[in-house]
Amino acid sequence: MFTGIVRERGRVASAEPNGGGVHLRIAAPETAGATPGDSIAVSGCCLTVTAADGETLEFDAVPETIARTTLGGLEPGAEVNLEPALRAGEPLGGHFVQGHVDGRARVTTLDPEGDGARMRLQLEPGLLRYCVEKGSIAVDGVSLTVAALHEDGIDIALVPFTLEHTTLGALAPGDEVNVEVDLLAKYAERLASA
């Protein structure tokens, strides 16, 4: 379980094909104290640390992960958002995030708005149905609030801190991002349909 509060931007050291998946090495000096077996959200995707040396973390992303996320397109030098798993007693500053990416969205606009920015994401109908104005969504592992709904997507208002401390400030129209819709919305739909 995560909160969507990014702790560090890591840099991909290598991304090697591995049996339909990808073996990732990520330079992450602040998070590299993790040990094998720990869960880390990598741009919103919960991965298990397979090796750590104090400076880098290693992960194996399996074919299912590659099919649903943007991790298969990572190249050396790319930045990723990192968040260690929530530990008992830590504050819940964002919202409940599982690290189970539901799909990808495409950035259609990212425009300055005051000191921050406004980002529009194009979402497929299967993801859009879980979005409500002022509801929660995780984008590349960042806990965010839906500012507005559209027929084909959503707007998100990004504060300066988010732009500076996550990878979202470097996005451009056409970029794909990982999206995890609100867990409570999915459970509510399932219970209502039973």
Per-residue model confidence as pLDDT tens digits over 56-82 = 999 999 999 999 999 999 999 999 999
How would DSSP label each residue in 140-176?
A: TTEEEEEEEEETTEEEEEE-HHHHHHSGGGG--TT-E
For the record, the structure tokens of 194 come out as 């039973």
Burial tier of 19 (Cβ tally within 10 Å: 0-12, 13-18, 19+):
exposed
Segment 13-31, tens digit of pLDDT: 999 999 899 999 999 999 8
pTM listed for this prediction: 0.94
Contact, 180 vs 142, CB < 8 A? Answer: no
